[in-house]
Structure 1
Amino acid sequence: MKFNDHIEFIGADFLLENEAARRLYHEHAAVMPICDYHSHLDPLEIVNDVQFDNLTQLWLKGDHYKWRAMRCAGVAEQRITGNVSDRERFQAWAETVPDCLGNPLYHWTHLELREPLGINDVLLSAETAEEVWQTSQQRLATPQLSAQGILKRFNVRTICTTDDPTDSLADHQWHATSGAGPTMLPTFRADLVLKIEQPGFIDYLAKLEAASGLTIQRFDDLLAALYQRLEHFEEAGCCLSDHSLEKPVFVVPPAAHELDRILERRKGGEALSSDDAHGFTTAVLLWLGKEYARRGWVMQLHIGALRDLSQRGRREIGANSGFDAIGDTTYAEPLAALLDALDQEHQLPRTVLYNLNPRDNEMLAGLAGSFQGDGIPGKVQFGAAWWFNDQRDGMERQLTTQMQFGLLRHFVGMLTDSRSLLSFSRHDYFRRIFCQMLGAQMMRGELPRDVDRVGEMVRAVCYDNVQRYLFER
C-alpha cells in the first residue's frame, strides 16, 4: 500500500485537511491563550509548583480514562491501581497504548508526549516504554516542566478548580497573593448538600457546620451556612458554581415548616420519600441559583452521569475510578421548570448546560435557546462536549448542534474536566477539530472564504468569549 509521505502522524497540520482549516488554526486558534473554566486539578500541585518525578505521577495517578482502557485490555487491577512501582504502572499503560488505535486515548497520549514533553518521534508501546520513561524523566527534572512550567508551555491564563463548600481555599488565597503562574479560581460545587437521600448527608452537614461555624437545625440554618461559604468563596475570587445532576428534578418547593420537618426527619435517620427528597433538592437549588444570579456568578449543570456502577469497584478502589456510564433518562420538563422558576423572578444566572448522553444534544440546545436575554450574549449555553463525548465525533456533533440551534459566535468553548496537567492538549485537539469543520464549510462555499472574518469567530470561541462570560458583570 502506498502512503502519502507528506502526511505525518500528529504533525503540524494534524486533523487539518484543507488550506482554509490550516490558516484558521495556525493564524488564529493556535495563538490564543487558554481559560480552562472547569477542571479537577489539585490546587496544591500548582501552588507548590510541583516537580514531578516521572510520567506515572503526572499522567496515571488519577486518570480514570486510562484505567478503563487498561481494564478493557485485560491488565490486572494490581498494575492499574494497586501497590506497584511507578515504573511498573507506566509499563502497564505502555502495553495498552497500541490496543487504543481508533480510541481518542491514542491521539491524546501522543499529543501529550509531544507537548510539553517534546517526544515527537516515538510511538508508545511495551517496546518503547523504557526509552519514553528515561527521556520523560530527564525532561520532567527541568524547571520548564514543573507544574507551573507546564501551564506556561500550554499558555494557560486562567484555571478554575472544583471545590467543595467546606474547603478552606487556603491554596487559592496563597496563590492569588504570590503572583506566580496563571490565575487560579475556585468553583463552588455543592453536590453533597443537594443529595439529602444519600447515606453521607448527615456526616456532610457536620462538616458544613464546622466550616461555617453555624449549627444546622432548621432549613434556614442550612441556607445561612451555605451563605457563609458563598461569601468565603467570593472573597477568594470565585465566579462559578457547578452541580452534577444525575437526573434533574423539579417539584414546587415545600413550605418552610415542611422543609424543617424534612431536614429534622433525615437528621433523625429516617428514609425520605422521593417527593420529600426532590422538594428539598429543588428548594436548595433554587435558592443557590438566586444567589449565583445576585453575585453575577455562572451556574454549571452537568447532567446525566451514572456514577460508580460497579459496587465492587467502588468498595475495593474508591469513587471516581472509571466505573461510570451514560444515563438514558429524560429530563427536559423538570430542567425547563427549574430554569423557568428562576427566570420568572429575573434571577436566572448565566448558565452552562452539559449533557452526557449525545441523544440529548438537540433537546438541550433548544432548551438553552429558550432562556436567552438580559442583554447577555449566550446567557444560557449549550456546553462543550463532556466526558464520553470529548473526542472528535462528540465535539463535531456538539459543534454542529451549536451552529444549528444557537449562535456559534458566542459559544464559550472547550475545557479539560481533567485531573492531569497534561490534559491541556485537549484544547489543541478541540481547536484543530473546530478549524477543520469551519475550513471544510469554507471550501464547500457554506461559509465566506474570508479567513480573517471566520478567524475572528475562532478566536472568540477559543478564548475571548469565556473571558467575557466569566468576568464581565
Structure 2
Amino acid sequence: MKRFMDEDFLLHSEFAEDLYHEYAEKLPILDYHTHIPVRDIAENRVYHNLTEVLVDNPVARRLMRANGVKERFITGGEAPARERFQYFAESLARAAGNPLYTWVHLVLKRVFDCHYVLSGETADDVWSVCSEKFADGTMTVRSLLEQGNVEAVFTADHPEDNLKWHRQIREQGFPVKVLPVFHPDAALDIANPEWGNYMLYDLGQTAGVEISTMTEVREALAKRIAYFDSMGCRTADHAFPRIVYREAEEYELDDIVGRVINSKGAPTQEEVEKYQTAVLRFLGKKYAERGWVMQLHYGILRDMNSKMAAGLGSGAGFDCISASSDGEGLALLLDLLSREEALPKTVVSSMNPSDQVVIGSILGAFQTEDEGHLQLGPSWWINQTPLGIRAQLGYMASLGIIGTAIGFSTDARSALFWPRHEYYRRILCDVLASLVEEGLYPSDKDALGRLIRDVCYENTKKYFGI
C-alpha cells in the first residue's frame, strides 16, 4: 500500500519512478491552453486566500453542488471566504477518486508546503498554514508562475481585443512568455441572437470593416489575425458542440450573412452549417499561411442549465458533454483543407472520451510530411483523470506515434495550474514503464528519457514556435 501522495504516487514500479524523477520532474512547463486572465498577469494580481485559488472555479463549484451545498456558499455573494472554504473542504473529503481531490492536495503541497489532508475537520489548520503565505502579499500571479518553472503560458483572447495587457507584459520584460490565443468563437456562432451586434460593433468596428457580406466577414477576421500575429500569437482555438461540414455557393453565404446581420431572420441549421464551414475553411487557410496551430475542441454544450446560468453568467459550471458527432464533419473539413494545400497544424480534442478513437483514426488519414502535424489533443477538463489520461495516451500510441505528442494543457483559470502538469507527467512515465514491464518496449532508459522530454517539452516548443 502506498502512502497518500508520497513522492512516488501514481508510479507503480521502480522503473516508472526512475523515469519520472530522472527525466520528467524538473522539465519547464509550457501550457498552450489556459483561461488565465491576461490582465491578472500584467497587473500581477495578488491572491488573498484559499477560497480565491481553490473554490472560485467551475470544477469546484460542480463538486459542491453535487454535495448539496447552498449556492450562496458556492458562488460567493455575502458569504465569508472562510465559511465557503469550510463547505468546500467538507465536500472534497467525500470526493474519493475525483481528480480535484488530487489537484487540490498537489497545490497545498507544492505551493503552500502544507501537508494536511484537507477535510472539514482539518480546514482550520489548512487555512491557518496557508494564510501565512498570503499574509505578506507575495502570493501573486507572477511569483506563482515563476515558482512553478513555467516557461510559457497561453491566454484566451477575442478577435476584437487590443492585446494591451500582452504588450505591457512584453515591455516589462517578464521572463515567462505570455502568448495570446485567437478565439473567434463569437464570429462563428451565427445562431446566437447577439451575433449581428457582435459582428457590427465589436469585430467590425475594431477591424475597420462594415460587415454585410461574407467577403467582409473574411476581411475583418483576416485583419485581426494579422494584428494578433504581430503580437506574437501562434495559435487559434475554437469550441463547438460538434464539427459540421456543408459547402455553399458565395451568393448563399452573402444572403445568410446579410439577412442575419440585419435582423431579418434567424438562420436555419443548414445555414449555420454552411456559414461555419465557410469560416473554418477561410480560417484554416489563414492559419496555414502564418504557420499557426488550429485547435479544435468539440463535444461540449455550454451553459445548459439556463436558469442557473441566467443568474450566474457563463462559465459557472453548467457545461455538459455532447454525443452528437460521428466524425464525418471533421474528416470532410480536413479533406477540404488538404485538397487546397491549406491544412494547418491542428490539435483536435473532444469533451466526449468515446470520440478519441474516432479522432485518432481520422487524423491518421491526413498526416503530412511535417512530423506530428495533426495531434490528438490532451484529455480535456472532466477527462483529466488517471483513466482519461491513460486512455488518451493509449489511443495516441496505438493510432499514431506517442513520441510526437505535444503533452498536456490544463484549461486552467488561475496561476496555480502548474502542479497538474506533474500529475500528467507521472501518469505518462507510469504508462511507458508499464510497456517495459509487459515486454512491449525494451528497457532502454535513455530512449524513453528522450521520448519523455520530447512529449513534455521539446515537441510543444517546436510545434507552437515558442
The alignment's TM-score, normalised by the length of structure 2, stands at 0.97
- Looking at structure 2, the residues matched to 267 and 462 of structure 1 have their Cα atoms a distance apart, in angstroms, of 44
The residue that corresponds to 1:48 in the other structure is 43
Is 1:160 paired with 2:154? yes
The residue that corresponds to 1:111 in the other structure is 106
The residue that corresponds to 1:171 in the other structure is 165
The residue that corresponds to 2:215 in the other structure is 220
Is the Cα–Cα contact under 8 Å of residues 54 and 104 in structure 2 kept in the other structure?
A: no
Among residues 316, 322, 331, which one is paired with 1:336 in the alignment?
331
Matches within 5 A, 1:6-405: 7-61=2-56, 63-83=57-77, 84-120=79-115, 122-142=116-136, 145-205=139-199, 206-255=201-250, 257-269=251-263, 270-373=265-368, 375-405=369-399
Q: 1:146 to 1:82 in 2, by over 3 A?
A: closer
Note the C-alpha offset of 1:335.
Answer: 1.0
- Looking at structure 2, the residues matched to 305 and 250 of structure 1 have their Cα atoms a distance apart, in angstroms, of 17
- Looking at structure 1, the residues matched to 75 and 235 of structure 2 have their Cα atoms a distance apart, in angstroms, of 32
Note the C-alpha offset of 1:434.
Answer: 0.7
The alignment's TM-score, normalised by the length of structure 1, stands at 0.95
SS in 2 for 1:363: helix
SS in 1 for 2:285: helix
Give 2:190's aligned amino acid: I
Note the C-alpha offset of 1:258.
Answer: 2.4
Mean Cα displacement is larger for which, 34-43 or 420-429? Answer: 420-429
The residue that corresponds to 2:429 in the other structure is 435
Note the C-alpha offset of 1:60.
Answer: 2.2
Give 2:349's aligned amino acid: Y
How many matched pairs? 463
SS in 2 for 1:99: coil
Is 1:448 paired with 2:442? yes
| Percent identity of equivalent pairs | 37
- Looking at structure 2, the residues matched to 224 and 71 of structure 1 have their Cα atoms a distance apart, in angstroms, of 45
Runs of 4+ in 1 over 6 A off after TM superposition: none
- Looking at structure 1, the residues matched to 341 and 261 of structure 2 have their Cα atoms a distance apart, in angstroms, of 34
Deviations 1:432-452 (A, max 9, x none): 011111112212221111111
Deviations 1:136-157 (A, max 9, x none): 1211345763211111121100
Is the Cα–Cα contact under 8 Å of residues 46 and 138 in structure 2 kept in the other structure?
A: no
Q: 1:362 to 1:368 in 2, by over 3 A?
A: same
Give 2:69's aligned amino acid: V
Deviations 1:196-235 (A, max 9, x none): 1111101211211222222212222221111111111111
Give 1:352's aligned amino acid: V
Is the Cα–Cα contact under 8 Å of residues 299 and 325 in structure 2 kept in the other structure?
A: no
- Looking at structure 1, the residues matched to 325 and 291 of structure 2 have their Cα atoms a distance apart, in angstroms, of 30
Deviations 1:47-78 (A, max 9, x none): 122221111222222x1111000000010011
- Looking at structure 2, the residues matched to 20 and 404 of structure 1 have their Cα atoms a distance apart, in angstroms, of 22
Give 1:35's aligned amino acid: L
- Looking at structure 2, the residues matched to 208 and 325 of structure 1 have their Cα atoms a distance apart, in angstroms, of 28
> Structure 2: which 5+ residue stretches go unaligned?
none
Q: 1:142 to 1:433 in 2, by over 3 A?
A: farther
Q: 1:75 to 1:446 in 2, by over 3 A?
A: same
Note the C-alpha offset of 1:385.
Answer: 0.7
Note the C-alpha offset of 1:21.
Answer: 0.2
Q: Aligned-pair RMSD on alpha carbons?
A: 1.3
Deviations 1:99-156 (A, max 9, x none): 1112111111101111111112x11112221221122121134576321111112110
> Structure 1: which 5+ residue stretches go unaligned?
none
The residue that corresponds to 2:459 in the other structure is 465
- Looking at structure 2, the residues matched to 72 and 247 of structure 1 have their Cα atoms a distance apart, in angstroms, of 27
Is the Cα–Cα contact under 8 Å of residues 294 and 344 in structure 2 kept in the other structure?
A: yes
Give 2:391's aligned amino acid: R
SS in 2 for 1:244: strand
- Looking at structure 2, the residues matched to 82 and 42 of structure 1 have their Cα atoms a distance apart, in angstroms, of 20
- Looking at structure 1, the residues matched to 146 and 76 of structure 2 have their Cα atoms a distance apart, in angstroms, of 33
